């Protein structure tokens, strides 16, 4: 039986390890080229900078973590924040995405 702090569907993961690349920079570059979400690009650049300041490196691929599990956990938090704000429909949309991610995490080798 799992203790109260051990998630059963999204297990704890190891701390990230140094790897290669810069996920934020790549995503920003692609979206800028596609001319998508121009109002969010400065916010994305800010979040990238916060991550580097906090962790010393940007978000990197192949860093030893399951990025889908990380996304599911973050979306669960987002759903709770939206629910607290009274945005129930948006919270439910987050939860549908979490369901999909959890399935993918469980199916991954």
Q: Tell me: do 55 and 88 sit in the same domain.
A: no
Provide the residue range defining the domain that includes 56. Answer: 17-63
Write down the residue that tokens 């399951």 correspond to: 66
**Domain identity same for 102 and 75:** yes
Report, as an integer, the average pLDDT of 74-96.
97
Identify the CA nearest to 95 among candidates 81, 75, 74: 75
Kindly state whether residue 11 falls inside one of the protein's structural domains.
no
In this prediction, residues 49-68 reach a mean pLDDT of 93
> Does residue 78 sit within a domain?
yes
d(CA 100, CA 65) in angstroms, rounded, equals: 18
CB-based contact 78:94 (threshold 8 Å): yes
Position 39 scores a pLDDT of 97
Nearest residue to 58 (alpha-carbon basis) of 46, 66, 42: 46
Q: Could you tell me if 37 and 31 are in contact, meaning their C-beta atoms sit under 8 angstroms apart?
A: yes
Q: Is residue 92 part of a domain?
A: yes
In this prediction, residue 43 has a pLDDT band, given cuts at 50, 70 and 90, of very high
Tell me the mean pLDDT in the region 56-72.
92
User: Whole-angstrom Cα distance, residue 51 to residue 58?
Assistant: 6
Q: How far apart are CA 88 and CA 82, in angstroms?
A: 7
Helix (H, G, I), strand (E, B) or coil at 65: coil
My answer on whether 41 and 70 are in the same domain is no
Look at residue 13 in the predicted model and tell me its pLDDT: 85
| Residue 87 pLDDT grade (very low, low, confident, very high; cuts 50, 70, 90) | very high
Is the domain of 56 the same as that of 77?
no
Global pTM? Answer: 0.82
Decide which of 26 and 69 is more confident. 26
Count of domains forming the chain: 2
């Amino acid at each position: 039986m799992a203790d109260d702090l051990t998630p059963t569907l999204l297990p704890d993961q190891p701390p990230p390890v140094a790897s290669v690349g810069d996920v934020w920079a790549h995503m920003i570059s692609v979206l800028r080229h596609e001319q998508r979400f121009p109002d969010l690009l400065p916010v994305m650049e800010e979040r990238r900078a916060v991550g580097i300041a906090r962790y010393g490196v940007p978000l990197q691929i192949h860093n030893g973590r399951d990025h889908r599990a990380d996304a599911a956990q973050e979306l669960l938090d987002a759903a709770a924040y939206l629910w607290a704000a009274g945005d129930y429909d948006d919270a439910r949309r987050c939860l549908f995405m979490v369901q999909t991610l959890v399935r993918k995490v469980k199916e991954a080798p």
